[in-house]
Amino acid sequence: MISLKEAIKLNSNELNTLRKELIEKIKATKEIGAYIEQLTNSDIDESFAGVPIAIKDNIQVKNWSITSCSKILQGYKAPYNATVINKLIASSLAPFGRTNMDEFAMGSTTESSYYGKTLNPLDHTRVPGGSSGGSAAAVAAGIAIAALGSDTGGSIRQPAAFCGCVGFKPTYGRVSRYGLAAYSSSLDQIGPITQNVEDAAILYDIIAGYDKLDSTSANLDFSPVTPNLNPNRKLKIAVIKNYIDEASKPVRDALNLTIEKLKNAGHDICYKDLANSKYNIAAYYIIATAEASANLSRYDGVRYGNRASADTLGQMYANTRGEGFGVEVQRRMLLGTFVLSSGYYDAYYIKAQKARAFIKREYDEILSEADIILMPVAPSVAYKFGELKNPLSAYLSDIYTIGVNLAGLPAITVPVASDENGLNISAQLIGAAWQEQVVLDAALNLENIVKGN
């Protein structure tokens, strides 16, 4: 597949040919389930005539059906563009199709979608990760030049790692969330999923920057990183040893070999430990579900999407939500409502916020001594559908990604190896807040080392 860097240089005729080729390739790989809808040639007008970019189904594109892959939003059409979509169009890129996802971004496997699951292009018996599994699978399968996803607890980085592409979560507040369907407002962040690090930098530069329409957008000076990418930058890298030691043997061996390559390339390696990752899990699932219970309360059958039939208003609310939300979404909403309820708010929610502050402080302390943190993305390679038998097992698969969201830091995943079955293994690189340049420099350096450049 042509890279984003190359696609940007195409003329209108070449882009038209590229779109036609993509449309045909998507039809031929329909079984993967990466897209739930894509443009056809007849749909393409001046607004969508740029470089085609796949869009996760929770990012508003004016006049498109945007459903967060939920039954409750069937029939809803977006009345406006998300800020990131306007930025794409202004840079001669264009939304090309809606990619599959876990319902309302609540999941790690892209199995909970109303439209059906997405398959991992590397092995169709295995999950592509989630919640941005459709975006990652589309890029990995060569049916998207690049894609946008959203990351609340690893939902860009984990599927990118499972599918073998690059996934980048910017600092919280660096990319506008205006037009992103809210799951957990203090954690959600839009970011790119791409074929390589340079493409991630290009797409990041296009979508980043202050937005007055987003109250959580950081009003800070923004300098594009792509013109200053430095693959030869020497860095001090803090390796989180206890997290690597906890990972499965293939992940552990691959990352230890990667660390040796980084040493040989002249980087300064030090070893650190972070607190038990189960603290991250506990804090994250209290905060995220609490915010989800508030955010999703707006879907009541009155203003958005589907409305169930009932004799009373109260019964209509109950029927609409009971029929419209899937099992996992209902589970998280109930959990969030519980931790916010009288008598439990102090016991759970306040303690989780204190734990969040502790987690952020730990990251900040390590990053005061090092340029970059290196750790696994997930404990294992992509697992088989049905392998995780209960929700808690799925939650625990996020142990190495959610701390980054709690701390609001930028992080990227870069493929470094394959296991004996050809499944991808990636390293996760984490930087200090607003230091995307350092993170992308480190990632490009690592990518070149892995490729032998």
Amino acid (one-letter) located at 397: S
Q: Is residue 120, in this structure, part of any structural domain at all?
A: yes
Decide if 368 is inside a domain: no
Model confidence at 42: pLDDT above 90: no
Condensed to tens digits (0 to 9), the pLDDT of residues 152-206 reads 999 999 999 999 999 999 999 999 999 999 999 999 999 999 999 999 999 999 9
- d(C-alpha 127, C-alpha 246), whole Å: 21
As a whole number, mean pLDDT of residues 214-230 equals 96
Active-site residue (options: 68, 112, 131, 426): 131
**pLDDT(41) > 60:** no
How do residues 139-167 score in pLDDT, each as one tens digit?
A: 999 999 999 999 999 999 999 999 999 99
Is residue 422 domain-resident? Answer: no
CATH of the domain at 84: 3.90.1300.10
Judged against a pLDDT cut of 70, whether residue 40 lies above it is answered with no
Residue 127, pLDDT score: 98
Number of domains in the chain: 1
- List 424's β-bridge partners, or say none: 418
- Of the residues 155, 277, 397, 426, only one is catalytic, namely 155
What is the structure's pLDDT at 397? 84
Report the pLDDT averaged over residues 385-395: 85
pLDDT reading at 47 higher than 70: no
Assess whether 236 carries a catalytic annotation: no
Instruction: Determine which one of 56, 87, 117, 272 is catalytic.
Output: 56
* Cβ pair 111, 127 in contact under 8 A: yes
Question: CB neighbours of 305 closer than 8 A, spacing ≥ 6?
Answer: 67, 70, 72, 73, 74, 75, 76, 299, 324
In a 3-state reduction of DSSP, which class is residue 144? coil
Q: Does residue 223 carry a catalytic annotation?
A: no
Residue 221 lies inside a defined structural domain of this protein: yes
| pLDDT band for position 46 (cuts 50, 70, 90) | low
In a domain, 320, yes or no: no
Check residue 72 and report its DSSP letter: G
Expressed as residue numbers, the domain containing 51 is 4-228
The span from the CA of 244 to the CA of 251, in Å, is: 8
Domain membership of residue 360 (yes or no) is: no
Between CA 318 and CA 326, with CA 324 as vertex, the angle to 5 degrees is 110
Q: What is the mean pLDDT of residues 326-342?
A: 93
Is 70 a catalytic site residue? no
Residue 80 inside a domain? The answer is yes
Residue 261 lies in a domain: no
